Amino acid sequence: MTELPQIRIGTRASKLALTQARQMQAKITAALGYGPEYIERVAPLVRITTTGDRVQDRRLLEIGGKSLFTKEIEEALLAGRVDCAVHSMKDVPAERQPGLVLAAIPEREDPRDAFLSPAYATLDDLPPGARLGTASLRRQAQALYRRPDLEIVMIRGNVDTRLAKLARGEADAMILALAGLKRLGLDGQVRSLFDPVQAPPAPGQGALAIETRAADAGADWVRALNHEPTAIAVAAERGALTALEGSCRTAIGAHARLDGRHLSLTVEALTPDGLGRFRREAAIELGADPAGEARSLGHALGVEIRAEGGERLLYAG
């Protein structure tokens, strides 16, 4: 009997992470030329608990940044215990681990932020002094820019945990990524959506990242997962992320729109208290190196914002 190929997929063990990994598991199995009955044999999931999963009572920036959602999985990749990793792109740090690459970016889900509340339909409907639940510095700053009267309540945890806290009344409203809610079939709880140009989401929000060892990046099954329009848009957004320091200590939003070869990009960074907002918008026609040109555009806008905002953009703790 011919030995089956096997691509071991490293993933966090949360419900959302497993849902996303299973979507890629099916695509990898198909790309290898096998039917769904072979899925567990040719693309098994390897569940890995990260530091970000274990520590739930503090902001990521207080315990080491967003790399705490990827560090253990990347260590497993480098050690050969898994062959690829599936990440939420917005959780992937700008700085890359030597020997590893973001080899493919599948087609993106809706990147917008969603507003959830038992009693109120929009952020503007919240009464003065209402409690808004989020652990995201960007969402905090964007909300305070519009509503400086709000009380920000630090709420971390997986999606179910956060929704349970909202239902228990630990906050009057909450902001979550629409993409995760849709993947979990929970988007029916959304009351309203934020305009992604007026309140840009996190760079790469709604997209997944397939990370591999550098030597495996050109494999046919990897290339089959990549969605070029998504990859170009994410390149632009992450270019800005790189220029703006790219850690959880900076409130960064970026939203790229691709129409044929026409790329539009909005980037903003805010002071943590929401009192200062620094924005840039630009558009280009893409040429021979679309991802590289998109990344350069994002980086250029990020550099301009960093020069204007300076140290005011950094969260001091």
Whether 103 maps to a domain, the answer reads no
| Side chain identity at residue 98, one-letter code | P
What letters, b where the CB count within 10 A reaches 16 and e where it falls short, cover 19-35? Answer: ebbbebbebbbbbbebe
Q: 117-139, pLDDT tens digit by residue?
A: 999 999 999 999 999 999 999 99
Whether 131 maps to a domain, the answer reads yes
* CATH code for position 171: 3.40.190.10
Whether 81 maps to a domain, the answer reads no
pLDDT at position 3: 79
3-state secondary structure of 285: strand
Range of the domain at 144: 113-193
- The structure tokens listed for 269 are 């960074």
- Return d(Cα 204, Cα 119) in angstroms, integer: 30
Phi/psi of residue 94, each to 5°?
-65, -35
Whether 259 maps to a domain, the answer reads no
Whether 213 maps to a domain, the answer reads no
Whether 295 maps to a domain, the answer reads no
Q: Which residues are catalytic?
A: 91
- The structure tokens listed for 283 are 């558009």
Quote the number of domains for the chain: 1
Whether 219 maps to a domain, the answer reads no
- Return d(Cα 185, Cα 109) in angstroms, integer: 13
Mean pLDDT in residue range 24-50:
96
CA distances to 121, 128, 242 from 229, rounded to whole Å, are 33, 41, 20
Whether 123 maps to a domain, the answer reads yes
CA distances to 43, 188, 301, 316 from 268, rounded to whole Å, are 39, 29, 9, 19
Is residue 135 within 8 A of residue 197, CB to CB? The reply is no
Q: 38-61, pLDDT tens digit by residue?
A: 999 999 999 998 776 665 555 555
Looking at 33-47, 195-209, 233-247, 256-270, which range is the least confident one?
A: 233-247
